[in-house]
Structure formats: C-alpha cells, structure tokens
C-alpha cells in the first residue's frame, strides 16, 4: 500500500501496536475532505452551533441556527443578551436552558478580543468540552491536540476492537495511545462519519464497510 500524506506529515511516520494507523488509511481517504455536517459560516457560528449540538442532532441545529444568527450575528451582539432572550429561538433544542446560559457567558468572554484556539482556553469556556474543542480546532485547521470522540465514535470504536471505554475521556486517551499524532486530526471525524452512514446502532452495514477486514465485530459475525 503506498504511503500518503495528509498535509500534516507522513501518516506512517511511526508504526503503532496493532497497526491501526495503516488500517485506518482507507477510512481517512474516504472521509477526510467531507465537510462537517454543521453548516457554519465563521468561527462565531461554529462555536455557537457546537455548543447547541451537544445531545441534539446537527440537522436540527442547522434548522434553528439561521434565525438565531439573524438576531445575534456575532459574539458582541450575543454578549448583550440575557439567556431568556434566546429562548424564542432555541426552546426546541435539547437542554436549551443551560445552553442559553453557557452561550451568554461564553459570548461575554469572547466579545472583546481575539478568540484563542488553544485547547486549554477552549475547554475553559462554558458548554465546551474536549470533543467540542477538538471539533473547533479541526474546523479551524489547528494542529490536533486530541481526537474527536462523539456518540458515533463511542459506538464504533468498541466494535472495531481498539478500546472498550464507555466514556469519551477514557476512549480519547486509548485512541491517542493507539494512533500516531498525524492521524489525530482526521480519524475521529472519519469514524464519526462511518458511524453516521454505515456502522449504525442496529444492523451495521458491514459488507459495505471499509473497516470490515479489521473489525472485531464483523469478524465475530463471520465465524
């Protein structure tokens, strides 16, 4: 198999136990240029939509976002609002009460200055954990400091057999230990896309999956 570059260095610069770096290449090739499902237009919209999408669907957030951004076009406008003023736009979003508070607090911190994309600064913002920070950093083309672990990744990775972690923090550590850093930028989102399209919660479509040859779940089904 030829070696390929991903713009951040040689994908095979260091081999890892289990050879997962090479095994993920077809998946990364398939999805690495796929646009994120959240239809944001700038960093402000990305931060807001990432906060809103926790425990909700990207499709739903894409629906509620345009009128919200028409009313609150940037951090400065949002910083002037109360959480209650956001309710008419966001009341259909899961956990909207807390999210409105978080958005107002975050806007208050970011309205007057340049947004720092350092991992420590992002996770210090209300409503933003490591998954959201990893998404923001990837979309802004910052070098990866972690791996995106969302609900899809939490479902797919145990099936593949890389980690059996039940929580995102533990799984991210397992993935970071199993994969070389040049892969971190893409691999989480690529696994997420696989989970959205192919490795569904019920009846995963293993026969059409690029990971089938390496997947513990598929292997056990074929015995």
Residues that bind ligand SF4 (CB under 6 A): 156, 159-160, 198-199, 204-206, 209, 211-212, 215, 217-218
Closest to ligand SF4 by CB, 143 or 216: 216
Minimum separation from the CB atom of position 44 to ligand SF4 (A):
35
Closest to ligand SF4 by CB, 47 or 211: 211
Closest to ligand SF4 by CB, 141 or 221: 221
Q: Are 69 and 89 in contact (CB under 8 A)?
A: no
Q: Are 172 and 146 in contact (CB under 8 A)?
A: yes
Q: Are 209 and 218 in contact (CB under 8 A)?
A: yes
Minimum separation from the CB atom of position 111 to ligand SF4 (A):
43
Helix (H, G, I), strand (E, B) or coil at 113: coil
Minimum separation from the CB atom of position 25 to ligand SF4 (A):
15
Closest to ligand SF4 by CB, 181 or 200: 200
Closest to ligand SF4 by CB, 131 or 159: 159
Q: Are 159 and 204 in contact (CB under 8 A)?
A: yes
CB contact set of 149 (below 8 Å; sequence gap of 6+): 130, 131, 134, 157, 168, 171, 172, 175, 188
Q: What is the DSSP-derived secondary structure letter of residue 74?
A: S
Minimum separation from the CB atom of position 202 to ligand SF4 (A):
11
Helix (H, G, I), strand (E, B) or coil at 205: coil
**Whole-angstrom Cα distance, residue 72 to residue 184?**
33
Q: Are 191 and 157 in contact (CB under 8 A)?
A: yes
Minimum separation from the CB atom of position 78 to ligand SF4 (A):
39
């Amino acid at each position: 198999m030829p070696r390929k570059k991903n713009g951040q260095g040689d994908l095979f610069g260091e081999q890892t136990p289990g050879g997962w770096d090479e095994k993920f290449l077809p998946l990364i090739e398939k999805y690495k240029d796929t646009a994120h499902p959240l239809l944001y237009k700038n960093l402000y919209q990305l931060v807001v939509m990432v906060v809103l999408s926790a425990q909700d669907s990207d499709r739903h957030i894409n629906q509620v976002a345009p009128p919200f951004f028409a009313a609150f076009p940037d951090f400065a406008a949002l910083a002037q609002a109360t959480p209650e003023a956001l309710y008419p736009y966001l009341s259909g979003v899961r956990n909207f009460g807390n999210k409105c508070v978080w958005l107002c607090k975050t806007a208050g911190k970011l309205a007057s200055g340049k947004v720092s994309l350092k991992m420590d600064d992002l996770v210090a913002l209300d409503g933003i954990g490591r998954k959201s920070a990893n998404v923001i950093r990837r979309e802004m083309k910052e070098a990866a400091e972690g791996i995106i672990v969302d609900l899809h990744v939490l479902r797919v990775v145990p099936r593949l057999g890389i980690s059996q972690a039940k929580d995102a923090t533990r799984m991210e550590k397992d993935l970071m230990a199993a994969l070389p850093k040049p892969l971190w930028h893409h691999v989480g989102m690529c696994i997420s896309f696989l989970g959205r399209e192919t490795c569904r919660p019920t009846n995963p479509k293993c026969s059409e999956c690029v990971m089938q040859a390496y997947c513990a779940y598929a292997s056990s089904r074929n015995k």
